[in-house]
């Protein structure tokens, strides 16, 4: 790979790196013929971020000889290349990125004012591709706004606030800091901001309700959005299903996929009401459970199938997906029960489920199962080479 970034695009690239560094520790780089992908995932695999730069973003772009080349490196090392975002615009005239796969080295050359040349040779590691599979179009709720609006909204939450709940109705959206149920309500500080639909460029609510997700990653995206001035779209529907924050421009696409909290309050109410759970019993095959697949993903599929793929009508039971699974596990008394119970004992903030699961790949080999075929993989992290070779 050999590419050149010039002028203001250097800052865009640098801001993207800084934005990704808010999420994960490794930067996954995949130079392809039609785009350069920079991705990361957080340590608990509950947040995934991806920047796709198309060739016109670069003054010059040539991808790798091998179209399937992937590599990763510590993101803070790349961040060090673009340490000062403020001076970057003034100082750096162009940036060349070269990949030497034989030497496992990625070279950033910054051509700065006054002839100063900065060369950073970073060591890279081979890795499998990191790719989350998600579908923004299937989300019932889409809110699009100028970054300023969201930045100013988030500004009201102190940095100690980890999670934010977003509830939407047809006219309003409300941002509120999430207070764990165990926490003493009387001592907790509640901050709530209500925004009118008029403030948004797009305000489509097909599935009114509330989702809770981590603020930290959203701040990371907003940092980039604010700097680039591009409108931010929020795609989401029911609790437990991911929220997707995205920015799109002709030469650039940004997607942040964040896990949302499953709603335990709903769980309690519906725990014994297993009718919903048995709505589609065939859709929850036992080998699925053995596969330790993140339960909400299964439920996501079941609900989609239940709704006949027609999006997410409000009539659809919006109850927390995990509840369905747990109810099922306990009612059938299977050996997964223990596992499920263990999950229930976890502190609430760990309920952001992984967006990735290594065991997803075998699904292709088990394609005889109809459910598995229809199962949409939200994200796959094919670190396991053995599984990969089974293709």
196 binds other proteins (CB under 8 A): no
Beta carbon nearer to other proteins, 116 or 183: 116
Q: In the bound complex, what is the minimum distance in angstroms from residue 243's beta carbon to other proteins?
A: 33
156 binds other proteins (CB under 8 A): no
Binds other proteins (CB under 8 A): choice among 55, 62, 69, 120: 120
Distance of CA 77 to the CA centre of its chain: 22
Binds other proteins (CB under 8 A): choice among 14, 73, 145, 327: 73
Q: Which residues contact 52 (CB under 8 A, 6 or more apart)?
A: 35, 36, 37, 252, 253, 254
Q: In the bound complex, what is the minimum distance in angstroms from residue 87's beta carbon to other proteins?
A: 6
114 binds other proteins (CB under 8 A): yes
Q: How far apart are CA 186 and CA 146, in angstroms?
A: 35
Q: Which stretch binds other proteins (CB under 8 A): 108-116, 158-166, 294-302, 371-379?
A: 108-116
Binds other proteins (CB under 8 A): choice among 77, 85, 149, 179: 77
Distance of CA 66 to the CA centre of its chain: 27
Beta carbon nearer to other proteins, 78 or 232: 78
Binds other proteins (CB under 8 A): choice among 87, 135, 269, 364: 87
Half-sphere exposure in the Cβ direction for 264 (13 Å, CA): 15
3-state secondary structure of 194: strand
Q: How far apart are CA 303 and CA 186, in angstroms?
A: 37
Q: Which stretches within 183-263 are classed as H helix? A: 215-228
Beta carbon nearer to other proteins, 78 or 234: 78
Q: First CA to last CA across the chain, in angstroms?
A: 27
SS3 content of the chain, % helix, strand, coil (to 5): 35, 30, 35
Beta carbon nearer to other proteins, 119 or 290: 119
Q: Which two tokens stand for residue 312?
A: 């997410």
Q: Which stretch binds other proteins (CB under 8 A): 74-82, 245-253, 255-263, 379-387?
A: 74-82
Q: Which residues pair with 162 in a beta bridge?
A: none
183 binds other proteins (CB under 8 A): no
Q: Which residues contact 310 (CB under 8 A, 6 or more apart)?
A: none
Nearest partner of 97 among 88, 105, 108, judged by Cα: 108
Q: What DSSP assignment string belongs to 125-167?
A: EE---EEE---GGG-SEEEEE-HHHHHHHHHTS-TT--EEEEE
Binding-site size, other proteins (CB under 8 A): 21
Beta carbon nearer to other proteins, 72 or 176: 72
Q: In the bound complex, what is the minimum distance in angstroms from residue 81's beta carbon to other proteins?
A: 8
Half-sphere exposure in the Cβ direction for 143 (13 Å, CA): 28
Q: Which stretch binds other proteins (CB under 8 A): 52-60, 113-121, 288-296, 309-317?
A: 113-121
Beta carbon nearer to other proteins, 116 or 268: 116
373 binds other proteins (CB under 8 A): no
121 binds other proteins (CB under 8 A): yes
Binding mask 14-53 for other proteins (x = CB under 8 A): ----------------------------------------
Q: How far apart are CA 356 and CA 39, in angstroms?
A: 14
Q: In the bound complex, what is the minimum distance in angstroms from residue 107's beta carbon to other proteins?
A: 9
197 binds other proteins (CB under 8 A): no
The torsion angles phi and psi of 335, rounded to 5 degrees, stand at -70, -15
Q: Which two tokens stand for residue 176?
A: 């509120």
103 binds other proteins (CB under 8 A): no
Per the CB < 8 A criterion, the answer to whether 237 and 139 are in contact is yes
Beta carbon nearer to other proteins, 114 or 198: 114
Q: Which residues pair with 41 in a beta bridge?
A: 48
85 binds other proteins (CB under 8 A): no
- Provide the 10 A C-beta neighbour count for residue 6: 15
Binds other proteins (CB under 8 A): choice among 102, 115, 187, 308: 115
Q: Which stretch binds other proteins (CB under 8 A): 42-50, 80-88, 170-178, 346-354?
A: 80-88
Q: What are the residues binding other proteins (CB under 8 A)?
A: 73-74, 76-77, 80-81, 83-84, 87, 91, 105, 114-123
């Amino acid at each position: 790979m050999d590419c050149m970034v010039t002028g203001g695009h250097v800052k865009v690239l640098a801001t993207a790196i800084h934005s990704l560094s808010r999420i994960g520790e490794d930067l996954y780089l995949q130079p392809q013929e039609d785009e350069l992908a920079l991705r990361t995932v957080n340590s608990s695999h509950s947040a995934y971020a991806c920047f796709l730069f198309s060739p016109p973003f670069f003054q010059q772009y040539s991808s790798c000889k091998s179209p399937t080349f992937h590599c990763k490196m510590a993101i803070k090392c790349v961040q060090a290349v673009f340490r000062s975002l403020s001076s970057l615009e003034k100082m750096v005239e162009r940036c060349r990125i070269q990949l030497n796969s034989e030497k496992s080295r990625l070279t950033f050359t910054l051509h700065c004012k006054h002839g100063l040349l900065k060369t950073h040779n970073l060591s890279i590691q081979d890795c499998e591709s990191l790719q989350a599979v998600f579908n923004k179009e299937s989300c019932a709720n889409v809110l699009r706004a100028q970054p300023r609006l969201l930045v100013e909204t988030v500004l009201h939450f102190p940095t100690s606030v980890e999670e934010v709940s977003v509830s939407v109705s047809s006219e309003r959206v409300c941002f509120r800091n999430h207070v764990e149920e165990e926490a003493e309500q009387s001592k907790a500080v509640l901050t709530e901001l209500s925004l009118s639909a008029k403030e948004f460029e797009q305000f489509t609510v097909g599935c009114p309700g509330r989702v809770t997700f981590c603020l930290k990653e959203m701040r990371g995206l907003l940092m980039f959005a604010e700097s680039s001035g591009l409108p931010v779209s929020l795609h989401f529907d029911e609790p437990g299903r991911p929220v997707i924050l995205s920015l799109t421009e002709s030469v650039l696409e940004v997607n942040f996929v964040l896990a949302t909290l499953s709603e335990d309050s709903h769980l309690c109410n519906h725990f014994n009401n297993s009718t919903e759970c048995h709505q589609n019993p065939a859709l929850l095959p036992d080998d699925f459970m053995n596969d330790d697949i993140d339960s909400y993903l299964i439920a996501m599929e079941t609900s989609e199938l239940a709704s006949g793929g027609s999006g997410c009508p409000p009539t659809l039971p919006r109850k927390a997906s995990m509840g369905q699974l747990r109810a099922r596990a306990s009612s059938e008394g299977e050996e997964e029960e223990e596992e499920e119970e263990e999950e229930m004992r976890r502190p609430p903030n760990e309920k952001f489920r992984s967006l990735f699961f290594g065991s997803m790949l075998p699904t292709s080999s088990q394609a005889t199962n109809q459910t598995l075929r229809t199962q949409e993989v939200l994200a796959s992290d094919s670190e396991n080479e053995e599984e990969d070779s089974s293709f």
